[in-house]
Amino acid sequence: MKKIILSIFIMMGLANLSHAQQGYQNPIIPGFHPDPSVCRVGEDYYLVNSSFCYFPGVPLFHSKDLVNWEQIGNCLTRESQVKLTNAGTWGGIYAPTIRYNEGVFYMITTNVSDKGNFLVHTTDPRGEWSEPVWIKQGGIDPSLYFENGKCYLVSNPDVGIYLCEINPMTGEQLSESKRIWNGTGGRHPEGPHIYKKDGWYYLLISEGGTEYGHKVTIARSRDIDGPYEGNPANPILTHINKNAQNSPIQGTGHADLIEAHDGSWWMVCLAFRPQTGSHHLLGRETFIAPVRWDKNAWPVVNGDGTIALQMDAPTLPQQPFVSKAPRTTFNTEKLGPEWIYLRNPKQENYILNGKTLRLKATPVNLNSMDSPTFIGRRQQHIDFTAATSVELQKGQPQDEAGITVFMVNHSHYDLFIRQDAKGQQSIVLRYQLGELKHIEKEINIPQGKVQLQVKGNNEFYSFGYSTTGNKFQEIAKMNTRYLSTETAGGFTGIILGLYAVSASSKAQADFDYFDYQGNE
């Protein structure tokens, strides 16, 4: 009997060990997902990112283990919540913060293309969020801290971190804004968050600009109003120093801390992965690192204040989600939350008819600051393959429909079909790079459906087509660095978009599917 009981305990122990895991891979949310903020409700975790000129705004993720994340929606799904008129890739929705207090979720952010700081709230994060509650205190990167029935707001007006008390349901400011910290002297002190641990109020911020000099610093005080004393070991996270100069991860910063349900501490942050030389294209991505935070001590991030692609650290028991199929078939009533538009879309131009995604073309082209007929998803891997099948109907000369590798309105590679006055169909590869616009290649093809393909790697985008749906013929390769953030600018990353343009607004394009497969 004793042997049986012992065997049962051994089996139970092995079962528990099978759920534990040592190590994980960064980034945890790849592609254009910057400015992460995270909160916990029991054993559930929720994370948001900024979205800039894209709609819907503020992607929302859920996790059970802080490593595996699934997008469950977007916080800003109505034009009444987020107006993006003429918003460029430097405009729109900046860094959000998500917090939970007494049964209510709050997401606070800045729309730099509208009226500034605002928050929305909900009791069901998978459902609809409230109309905007506008905030008086300016700056960007607002964050909330709740304590003893009070709600405090921090943001960074006037190149410093300011604190005030607000009513989160009405936006009313209940105390004067007070400067509480200037940071350590780095430029652009921003991204403030307040936490309380061991009787100390800790103020976490980012400095140095969201570039190669990015860093995370921290200060603390016994009183929420300050004065705040900086950590002598600042910065607590950065890749600007010699120990990370050769890291494939750069620009680490804009962080948020979270205590897991097992008592461990973690930091989510943004960073980017340079590709060819010092150029990056995927935008700023979401990474995570373990934090040691002893009693009355300063937090230490991953031992030395750096992070890696392959992290050798114990995690919560991992609970991965079922991977999405590479193919989107467009035979559903609505698209998944990962699909986004440029600015506020005209929804009547996007039709899911049970078989295809029909795009009604308009005269608004990809170079415009208006909203073209465009819908896409983020490039999330340096090495990837994407493909679609498109048929242009009622096309007039110069009308076009296809796929674009889109960074900003003045920098994109476009692979599309069009028809001349005699009905001859052709496939065209074009680049728009600042003031330079050029047709790289044009090939006559038969009327009917055409399959378009984009393949990416470290240095090139390779474009191909097929008229049979089988073997793709390569048209040409285009250099990645011309679309990089360092070359094109902006705060976003590459979007792989389906689009249609027509001077007469009579043309429409039917897309049968969209394939996306990461090859890393």
Tokens of 223: 């009183």
Element (H, E) at 321: none
**If we measure between CA atoms, which residue out of 355, 369, 359 comes closest to residue 502?**
359
Q: Which residues is 194 bridged to in the sheet?
A: 203
Is 399 part of the annotated catalytic residue set?
no
Give the span between the Cα atoms of 314 and 259, in whole angstroms: 15
Find the catalytic residue in 65, 141, 190, 399: 190
Is 35 part of the annotated catalytic residue set?
yes
Give the span between the Cα atoms of 93 and 107, in whole angstroms: 12
Provide Rg for the chain, Cα atoms. Answer: 24
| Residue 221, Cβ density class (10 Å: 0-12 exposed, 13-18 middle, ≥19 buried) | middle
**If we measure between CA atoms, which residue out of 469, 452, 331, 354 comes closest to residue 400?**
452
Across 3-39, b (16+ Cβ under 10 Å) vs e yields eeeeeeeeeeeeeeeeeeeeebebbbbbbbbbbbbbb
Under a CB-based contact definition with an 8 Å cutoff, are residues 520 and 381 in contact? yes
CB atoms within 10 A of CB 407: 28
**Terminal Cα distance for the chain, rounded:** 51
**If we measure between CA atoms, which residue out of 228, 178, 181, 179 comes closest to residue 201?**
228
What's 472-494 look like in SS3?
Answer: CEEEEEEEHHHHCHHHHCCCCCC
Catalytic residues: 35, 190
